[in-house]
């Protein structure tokens, strides 16, 4: 059994220690907001936070997360009110939506580390998150809006 803290809740999971964290999150715990895109650390659809840092859960062994704090899109905020979530909603960012859990989880780390990112900062920080629908302009706009919301003391 592996003990996992996901979104501040403890789960005892019966999984091979080498199983990707993504598999455990989706298929064993049942939190399906985090997506499988490429499985080889190339797209960013599977980004979650491990102790507050963005990791690609498709290539992170579940054993690495044992006893650590895992946060998925479902646990990013109490009421979908993280500044990035609010901004994504305001700007109607998603098209098909598939990539956006990962986009938002990456954006949340960017906004914590750089509360007022320039376009260049955003492009650099988000380069690992691919969107097949090409929503990059709206992602950029939403991150600027999230930065404003955060400055005004938005949730989290």
Residues that bind ligand FES (CB under 6 A): 36-39, 41-46, 56, 58, 94-99, 131-133, 135
Other beta carbons less than 10 A from residue 45's beta carbon: 26
Q: Which is nearer to ligand FES, 135 or 154 (CB)?
A: 135
Q: Which is nearer to ligand FES, 58 or 143 (CB)?
A: 58
Q: Which is nearer to ligand FES, 71 or 154 (CB)?
A: 71
Max CA separation in the chain (angstroms): 45
- Residue 25, strand partner residues: none
Least distance from ligand FES to the Cβ atom of residue 78, Å = 25
DSSP helix/strand/coil, 18: coil
Strands (E), 14-153: 47-50, 53-56, 69-71
Parallel, antiparallel, or unpaired: how do β-strands 47-50 and 9-13 relate?
Answer: unpaired
Least distance from ligand FES to the Cβ atom of residue 22, Å = 7
Least distance from ligand FES to the Cβ atom of residue 95, Å = 4
Q: Which is nearer to ligand FES, 101 or 154 (CB)?
A: 101
Q: Which is nearer to ligand FES, 125 or 154 (CB)?
A: 125
Least distance from ligand FES to the Cβ atom of residue 153, Å = 29
Least distance from ligand FES to the Cβ atom of residue 100, Å = 6
Would the CA dihedral through 6, 25, 75, 111 be positive or negative? Answer: positive
43: nearest Cα among 125, 111, 99, 96: 99
């Amino acid at each position: 059994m592996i003990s996992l803290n996901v979104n501040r809740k403890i789960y005892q999971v019966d999984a091979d220690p080498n199983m990707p964290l993504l598999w455990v999150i989706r298929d064993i715990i049942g939190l399906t907001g985090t997506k499988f895109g490429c499985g080889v650390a190339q797209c960013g659809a599977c980004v979650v936070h491990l102790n507050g840092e963005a990791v690609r859960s498709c290539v992170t062994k579940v054993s690495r997360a044992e006893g650590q704090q895992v946060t998925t899109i479902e646990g990013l905020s109490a009421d979908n009110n993280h500044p990035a979530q609010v901004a994504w909603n305001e700007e109607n960012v998603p098209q098909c939506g598939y990539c956006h859990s990962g986009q938002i989880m990456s954006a949340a780390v960017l906004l914590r580390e750089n509360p007022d990112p320039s376009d260049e900062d955003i492009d650099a920080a988000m380069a690992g998150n691919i969107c097949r629908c090409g929503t990059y302009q709206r992602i950029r706009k939403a991150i600027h809006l999230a930065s404003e919301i955060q400055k005004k003391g938005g949730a989290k």
